[in-house]
Chains A and B, each alone.
Chain A
Amino acid sequence: MKELIKHARELLENGEVAAVIGYRQVSAKRTKPVIITDPEETSALVFNEYCLNNLAVYLTKARIKLLCKKNDKVLKLAITAKPCDVHSIVALIQENQIDRDTIHIISFNCHGVAKDFGFDFNGDNLASKCITCETHKPLYYDALFGEVKETPQASDTALARIKEIESMPHNERFEFFKSEFDKCIKCYACRAVCPLCYCQRCITDKTIPCWIETSSHQRGNFAWNVIRAFHLSGRCTGCGECDRACPADIPLSLINRKMSMEAKNLFSFVSGRSLETPTLVGSYNEKDNNELFM
């Protein structure tokens, strides 16, 4: 922790970065995002198993970009990111939303996080994404802290659930999604926390024509959740933030994970893993699976 604070402090004091986006502890098992511009405040920075937020969501916000403009100069922005959050940053760079040169990534050797605030950190309460995680060391970083520790063992219940849903007859599967989407209250928290939902104007905000009904009845809820799933196919990096944010407990990450599995099976593509590979929807390869063409 001391190293992290020292590093962040130096960055700010030397004027290398305009702000550090990080976590601060609010209670024993809860942290919250903090945007620090004053070197004195860096002492609040922490990194532990309760750093759940994916801070990459702030990188595309206009008001955060504005922080970086100082006296006609554009300074870098430092962000503390778990290895999985780095995937989101990579995806954003790949989609030309941010520039690698403007971001200073402070990352950590990570052994998983809790599934939500307030839970003890152990195998039973491990976040679903951490169970199958293969990147305990970040793929890209400018500074790396933390020691390598063992990740608690847990069984991949989410995968079992996906298999179960896959094996349902289609009417049963429809009923399943109907009952899940029925709970949606259209607060759009899933959209707000998603680092890849960066559109200046979301399709649900469009009124002419109105593609997605704003009412949270069955038709409107289906339209929203299905369209969101499609818009994130091959782009979602699986951070699971939408799942955590949903006040109605809709298992959004199951849907997103299923779509990522499809992208991997069909195109051997996993989003946010490499700065060299072009994005899935942004590239075409003759060897791509052509069965999907009408």
Chain B
Amino acid sequence: MPHTAEIKEIIDESPDTRTFRLRFRDADTADRFEFKAGQFAEYSAFGDGESTFCIASSPTQKDYIECSFKVYGKVTQSLRRLNKGDTIGIRGPYGNWFPLEEFKGKNLLFIAGGIGIAPVRCVINNVLDLRDEFKDITIIYGARSVSDLIYKQEIKEWKARRDIKTVITVDPGGETASWDGEVGFVPAVLEKNAPESENTVVILCGPPVMIKFTMPVLTGLGFKDEFVYTTLENRMKCGLGKCGRCNIGNVYVCKDGPVFTYAEIKKLPQEFNNFKFQIANYKLQIAFLKG
């Protein structure tokens, strides 16, 4: 049974991505709702169904929770039609989380692409609230174009902070005249910046094709698979390990995931490694840019 929540605020992050700031209708639920960074929830647009997104706000933020979604399918289109003050349903939190306790005392490297910044942002804000407990923090975030970058306000704040290093990049051709960040795909930007791999944990989220090309770079820089954390985003319906959709090997991603280390992922049947679609897309994009 989902809980109902009111849309307190709508933030248009990019032409196709929106963030909802939500507060549970029931005060009791709001008090009791606790989650950890990396967990996800099922959000309902009643009449059109449920969709799965991570909780994008930090667990340290108690007044509200936030979710960000890109408009793709039926539910996200329906969610987009909702206005401030409307009601949506939330079930959750589900799944596992990033083991922040284990990250303490280590360097953190955040790598995100596209909408993949949403779960990463949750961890970043959580970590920034406990800044002293971690060593160096580096954020590398890439999007297709400047207008596709989301959390623009927060990026500004991150950039302004001296205790973290923030690198923002856009795909070639996606820059504007006034763009002051990097231009290039995430793996290339990562290689250029070559962060320290010793005592560092990587939190990596993005489209499968980005992950495919980023992993060899990370390995080249000396990062170990068991310290690279990522989230698998399979199609899910129930969130309870029943409906069978997210099943890969012995794992139900919605229960045993979505957070896995790359070492764990390597042990699974390589089923999500279906990059044909993305690579074709990527190639098309590049071909298009080359003119």
Task: List residues of chain A with CB under 8 Å of any chain B CB.
Answer: 207-208, 210
User: Which B residues touch A207, using CB under 8 A?
Assistant: 73-74
B73-131 residues with Cβ-Cβ distance < 8 A to A are: 73-74, 77
A210's nearest neighbour on chain B, judged by CB, is B74
> Could you name 6 residue pairs across A and B whose Cβ atoms are closer than 8 Å?
A207-B73, A207-B74, A208-B73, A208-B74, A208-B77, A210-B74
Total number of residue pairs linking A and B with CB closer than 8 Å: 6
* CA A208 to CA B45, docked complex, whole Å: 14
* CA A207 to CA B73, docked complex, whole Å: 8
> Which 6 pairs from chain A and chain B are nearest by CB?
A207-B74, A208-B74, A208-B77, A207-B73, A208-B73, A210-B74
Chain B proximity of A212: nearest CB distance (Å):
14
User: Which A residues touch B73, using CB under 8 A?
Assistant: 207-208
Chain A proximity of B16: nearest CB distance (Å):
15
* CA A210 to CA B73, docked complex, whole Å: 12
A208's nearest neighbour on chain B, judged by CB, is B74
Chain B proximity of A220: nearest CB distance (Å):
15
A207's nearest neighbour on chain B, judged by CB, is B74
Chain B proximity of A214: nearest CB distance (Å):
11
Chain A proximity of B235: nearest CB distance (Å):
13
Chain B proximity of A30: nearest CB distance (Å):
31
* CA A207 to CA B78, docked complex, whole Å: 12
* CA A207 to CA B51, docked complex, whole Å: 13
* CA A38 to CA B74, docked complex, whole Å: 45
B49-74 residues with Cβ-Cβ distance < 8 A to A are: 73-74
**Tally of contact residues, B, Cβ under 8 A:** 3
* CA A207 to CA B74, docked complex, whole Å: 6
* CA A210 to CA B74, docked complex, whole Å: 9
B75's nearest neighbour on chain A, judged by CB, is A207
* CA A169 to CA B77, docked complex, whole Å: 45
User: Which B residues touch A210, using CB under 8 A?
Assistant: 74
* CA A99 to CA B96, docked complex, whole Å: 53
Chain B proximity of A240: nearest CB distance (Å):
33
User: Which B residues touch A208, using CB under 8 A?
Assistant: 73-74, 77
B78's nearest neighbour on chain A, judged by CB, is A208
Chain B proximity of A66: nearest CB distance (Å):
13
Chain B proximity of A63: nearest CB distance (Å):
14
Chain B proximity of A274: nearest CB distance (Å):
40
* CA A207 to CA B235, docked complex, whole Å: 15
* CA A257 to CA B144, docked complex, whole Å: 54
User: Which A residues touch B74, using CB under 8 A?
Assistant: 207-208, 210
User: Which A residues touch B77, using CB under 8 A?
Assistant: 208
B77's nearest neighbour on chain A, judged by CB, is A208
* CA A28 to CA B149, docked complex, whole Å: 65
Chain A proximity of B75: nearest CB distance (Å):
9
B74's nearest neighbour on chain A, judged by CB, is A207
* CA A207 to CA B45, docked complex, whole Å: 14
* CA A145 to CA B74, docked complex, whole Å: 52
Chain B proximity of A81: nearest CB distance (Å):
33
* CA A25 to CA B74, docked complex, whole Å: 46
A206's nearest neighbour on chain B, judged by CB, is B74
* CA A115 to CA B112, docked complex, whole Å: 59
Chain B proximity of A78: nearest CB distance (Å):
29
* CA A207 to CA B72, docked complex, whole Å: 12
* CA A208 to CA B73, docked complex, whole Å: 8
* CA A208 to CA B81, docked complex, whole Å: 14
* CA A208 to CA B78, docked complex, whole Å: 10
* CA A253 to CA B195, docked complex, whole Å: 67
Chain B proximity of A90: nearest CB distance (Å):
34
Chain B proximity of A187: nearest CB distance (Å):
16
* CA A16 to CA B110, docked complex, whole Å: 56
* CA A208 to CA B77, docked complex, whole Å: 9
* CA A15 to CA B77, docked complex, whole Å: 51
Chain A proximity of B51: nearest CB distance (Å):
12
* CA A210 to CA B78, docked complex, whole Å: 13
B251-290 residues with Cβ-Cβ distance < 8 A to A are: none
Chain B proximity of A85: nearest CB distance (Å):
33
Chain B proximity of A209: nearest CB distance (Å):
9
